[in-house]
Chain A
Amino acid sequence: MAHDHAHNAPPSDTAMRVKALETLLTEKGLLDPAAIDALVDTYENRIGPRNGAKVVARAWTDPEYKKRLLENGTDAIAEFGFSGVQGEDMVVVENTEDVHNIVVCTLCSCYPWPTLGLPPIWFKSAPYRARTVIDPRGVLEEFGVELSEDIEVRVWDSNAELRYLVLPQRPAGTEGMSEDELAGLVSRDSMIGTALADAPAG
Chain B
Amino acid sequence: MNGIHDMGGMQCMGPIEREENEPAFHEEWEGRVFGMFFTNFAEGHFNVDMFRHGIERMGPAEYLETSYYEHWLHSFETLLVERGVLAEGELEEKIASLREAGG
- Taking beta carbons and an 8 Å cutoff, which residues of A are in contact with B? 1-2, 10-12, 14-25, 28, 30-32, 35-37, 39-40, 43-44, 104, 106-109, 117-118, 120-122, 124-134, 139, 142-143, 157, 160
Contacts and interface: CB of A to CB of B under 8 A. Distances in A.
B8 interface: yes
Nearest to A44: B24
A18 B35 CA distance: 11
B60 to A, nearest CB: 12
Contacts of A143: 16, 18
Contact of A39 (B5, B17, B26, B34): B34
Dominant secondary structure of chain A at its interface with chain B: helix
B86 A24 contact: yes
29 contacts: A1-B27, A2-B29, A2-B67, A10-B103, A14-B70, A17-B73, A22-B32, A28-B85, A31-B43, A35-B35, A40-B34, A40-B35, A43-B31, A43-B34, A44-B25, A107-B5, A118-B24, A120-B19, A120-B22, A121-B22, A122-B16, A122-B18, A124-B68, A126-B10, A127-B16, A130-B11, A130-B13, A143-B18, A160-B49
B36 A22 contact: yes
Given A125-B17, A126-B7, A131-B16, 8 more contacts: A20-B91, A25-B36, A30-B39, A36-B31, A120-B19, A127-B16, A130-B10, A160-B52
Contacts of A131: 11, 13, 16
A16 B28 CA distance: 11
